[in-house]
Structure 1
Amino acid sequence: MVHWVKAGLISILIALLLLLFAAALLLVGSPTGKDWLIPFRLTRTATLHLKVAPMLAAATSPQGRRLLAGSRWRTRAGTVTLADRDGALVARCAPCEVRIVQLSSEPLRLSAMTLALQRDGNRVSGWVAAANGGAEQRLIFSGALDARALALNWELPRSEIAGVLELLRSAVPEAGRATILGHFSAAGTLSLPSGKWSISPRLEGFEVYGLGTERLRYGAVDFVCRDASGTPQLRHGGDRAPGWLAPDRMGRALPRAVLAAEDGRFYQHPGYDLEELVPLLADAERNGRRGASTLSQQLAKNLYTGADRNGARKLRELLYAVEMERTLGKWRILALYLNTVDWGPGICGAADAARVYFARAPEHLNPVQAAWLGGILRNPQRAYRQEFLTRTPEARRLKWVLAQTPRVSRRHRLGWDAPG
């Protein structure tokens, strides 16, 4: 899960998967050895490690369910009440606070969360539901339990996207003021206690209204640019600001290189790119060096959500990106991105980047220079220190960006002291 956040992935479905993971851990704990064990503190100095598989087998047996029914357990999420219902052990927490550090530093506040688990031999099945106000979403799962692990297949039936975001309102404030249309469904796997997972999502008719991004169609644009010390500085840009350029005034090389490096399907996707996202979510081998965040999502991060590396920020970013696709269109999104993106310490926008790195205007960059600028957007601060100041560009990344850019001549050079 941490890999998903570090890779910059964004998926509206991951929140429910994390809820399933968190809900399961309320019952089964975490591993400490070859068998799946949980620590049970007897005294301040004595701890007993209990085997999870026999405990779950006992708890989900008819006798165990009857014994546990009506008991209440105090947990970090809240008070959990156990019940025996239709052959399943049911754990319910209402209200509930779930701490999911991958989603937000603040706990997710829910009206209720319920986990139902039943077992037939080593086969387990059940569901987990999260509710907030009038919204409830439910995942169903089935799988196998052995001494070391619980391996599950899970499915989220077709649901309204707005319903899921209602659950996350405490972490995603935009969910309370935007009109969100569309449906999604998903399926995947989850293995406990390792936390390994996969997800295959499907989105239909995803649209967002009410976030006010239409204000960016023309006129002034305020954005943050970090100086050499990392201190954020407010800058004023827009169509009449000095150094502000439309994409067609930047020449051909730089816009094409940026798209090749950051978002090769920019003109095909609706603000998010499931073709890039799904392989990363499934832990497939990454193709090339691009992440799953589109230019539209990156622009939303630059102008609205900030750079906190958690799932809530990624969900907020996604909402803004989808609305901007409708209110601004591709050309305006590309112009805003190229004029505001961070290209190094105190270097924001294409005009700054071309001047500082190559002492020329963006339209006069050659294809190799443009490819280097496009390639460093993943980590421009490091590239400034380790490549520009030392005149040692990373050749492998530069070649990769050039390979992604069609009809680019490789006879050009960076023009620095060292060969480009």
Structure 2
Amino acid sequence: MKNLVGSDARRCSLIALTLLATLLALTAALFAVACHALAPQPGEWSHTLRIGPRGWQFERPISVPALLRVATHPLGLALLDGRSTDTPLGRWTWQRVAPDRLAGRCAPCRLPFDALGPQPLLLPQAELQLQRVAQERYRGTLTLGEGEQAVVLKGRAQLTSTSLVIDAELADTATADVYAAFGADAIPELRRAHIDGRVAAKLNLRLPERRLVVQPRIDGFEVSGLGTEALLDAEPAMACASRQTAGDAGTRVIGWLPRAVVAAEDQRFAEHAGYDLPQLLAAWSANQKPPTLAAGGVRPQGASTLTQQLAKLVYTGDERSAVRKLRELLYAVEMERTLGKGRILQLYLAIAPWGEGVCGAEAAARHYLRKGTARLTPLEAAWLASLLRAAPAPGALAGVDTERVGWVLTSLRGPLPAERRAEQMEVLRSGWQPPARR
């Protein structure tokens, strides 16, 4: 009897091992088939996928178009239902909400765009609904935020072997709701700011290039509650106040320098409401190009108006991030209403960093040109204004950028006769150098 029981046990063990081996073989075969089906063709859009538990992972390139087709197939939807995946955008949890529709939720989410700076744009929450309507065409919605203030973008996508082109639209939406989508933790000003206005936009996104074209419409953008009216009488602190002499910060800057600064930094200063939308869009487009294609091989520095630059100096700091730009925009719009153009320009001139540890126009004029701002020639004012784009570090003052200074001098508005402008241009071309370089 014992021999019979032992024989049955061995037989059961053998059957179990055979079934396990068969299951492993089938799993390996299915995995091999899946890898073959998802293997990218030459020239196809691909992504390297890490497979296996931590410490035992191996990498394999997969076809992104094939993966998207599988994920939106009814069988793929069933496999994804209830699962979570880690992506460069954050951790997404998936749910099959209809036989042909997939929903995903990410909290928080990261949106990496080089044009927005090295830090990704952070969103507290995003929800995606995706449906395949034809072999290579999709439609869906992206919801940012939650509740009554949720912002909804509706879009369609076209898939090819090399790209995914998404066309989306933001219908007319309260500007306050768009800001709320980023959360008060990222933009603390939302706790006290009152934001009016409406915004709508059309977007075109190309993947994998991550090239985004935005066509926005902004109406009635106004801000209150941030307290910028305090700058009407206050003299804000500056980062290099130790280089100032008594009275520098409060001295009203006159002469050619204010005009030269406007020509160099913000030629539409007199017309805009704190932000220059055409210039912002131009900078956004240029910043998405590889550095070798941008001007001089260097990425443009942006399209901040003088009002935005003042907001950065006084309130937000100079961190290069999309959230900082959104905060800066709130202050700029409010300052246009509370301070006016004249006060904004004088405040900027009083505290702007001019390099070599010097802040403020009067201190900069004396440091570099050995005279006060009221005595500057148009050429000297144009050269001094040209330094603001890339203020030199201590001891690193470069030679005169004749092309840029000439551009500022040509763009300078005001009662400058053509003969005087031509004479100043001739002095520049003849090798003019400031006293600090002689």
Using the size of structure 1 for normalisation, the TM-score is 0.80
Pick aligned residue for 1:256 from 241, 256, 259: 259
**Which whole-Å deviations, capped at 9, do the CAs of 1:160-183 have from their partners, x for residues lacking one?**
111011111221111222000001
- The equivalent of 1:36 in structure 2 is 45
Alignment of 1:261-276 (within 5 A): 261-276=264-279
Equivalent position SS for 1:90: strand
Segment of structure 1 superposing worse, 97-106 or 82-91: 97-106
Alpha-carbon distance in 2 for matches of 1:281, 1:125: 26
Using the TM superposition, give the Cα deviation of residue 106 of structure 1 relative to its aligned residue in structure 2, in angstroms: 8.5
Q: Which residue of structure 1 aligns with residue 128 of structure 2? A: 114
Match of 1:400 in 2: 407
> Per the alignment, do residues 419 and 298 of structure 1 end up closer, same or farther by CA in structure 2, a change over 3 Å counting?
closer
Match of 2:236 in 1: 222
Question: Letter of the aligned partner of 1:305 in structure 2?
Answer: T
The runs of 5 or more residues in structure 2 that have no matched partner are 1-39
Q: Which residue of 1 aligns with 2:159?
A: 145
Counterpart mapping for 1:146-161 below 5 A: 146-161=160-175
Residues 225 and 235, structure 1, Cα contact 8 Å, conserved in 2? no
8 Å CA contact 1:261, 1:290 repeated in 2: no
Whole-Å separation in 2 of the counterparts to 1:383 and 1:371: 21
TM-fit CA distance, 1:151:
1.0
Compare relative contact order (CA 8 Å, sep 6+) and give the higher one, 1 or 2: 1
Identity of aligned residues (%): 36
Partner of 1:278: 281
Give me the CA root mean square deviation.
Answer: 3.1
Unaligned runs of 5+ in 1: 1-30, 227-232
CA contact (8 A) 2:83 2:93 kept: yes
1:409 aligns with 2:421: yes
The change in CA–CA distance for 1:71 and 1:53 in structure 2 (over 3 A counts) is same
Corresponding residue number in structure 1 for 2:343? 332
Q: Secondary structure at the match of 2:421?
A: coil
Shift of 1:84: 3.5
Distance 1:287 1:193 in 2: 24
Report SS of the residue matched to 1:113.
strand
Contact 2:400 2:433 in 1 (8 A): no
Q: Which amino acid aligns with 2:149?
A: A
1:245 aligns with 2:224: no
1:140-219 aligned at under 5 Å gives the runs 140-168=154-182, 169-218=184-233
1:197 match: secondary structure = strand
Shift of 1:134: 4.3
User: The residue matched to 2:172 in structure 1 has which SS?
Assistant: strand
| Cα distance in 2 for residues equivalent to 1:147 and 1:191 | 13
The structural deviation recorded for 1:124 is 1.9
Q: SS state of the match for residue 128, structure 1?
A: strand
SS in 1 for 2:268: coil
Return the alpha-carbon distance in structure 2 between the equivalents of residues 259 and 395 of structure 1: 18
Instruction: Give 1:119 deviation, angstroms.
Output: 3.5
Return closer, same or farther for 1:290/1:399 CA change in 2, 3 Å cut-off: farther
Q: TM-score, normalised by structure 2?
A: 0.76
1:349 lines up with 2:360 in the alignment: yes
Q: Residues of 1 paired with 2:383 and 2:42: CA distance?
A: 48
The Cα of 1:104 is off from its aligned counterpart by 8.4
Alpha-carbon offset, residue 418 of structure 1: 10
SS of aligned partner of 2:335: helix
Match of 1:82 among 62, 79, 95: 95
Larger radius of gyration: 2
- Letter aligned with residue 278 of structure 2: E
Aligned length: 371
The Cα offsets for residues 391-413 of structure 1, whole Å up to 9 and x where unpaired, read as x2111111111111143624245
Shift of 1:100: 3.9
Give 1:41 deviation, angstroms.
Answer: 2.7
Alpha-carbon separation, structure 2, partners of 1:362 and 1:38: 57
Higher helix share: 2
Amino acid at match of 1:136: A
- Partner SS, residue 151 of structure 2: strand
Distance 1:201 1:112, change over 3 A: closer
CA contact (8 A) 1:244 1:339 kept: yes
Shift in alpha-carbon separation, 1:242–1:49, aligned structure 2, 3 A:
closer
8 Å Cα contact 1:280-1:286 kept in structure 2: no
The one-letter code sitting in structure 1 at the alignment partner of 2:273 is P
2:118 and 2:180 map into 1 onto residues whose CA distance is: 15
Distance 1:242 1:142 in 2: 57
Moved more, 118-127 or 254-263: 118-127
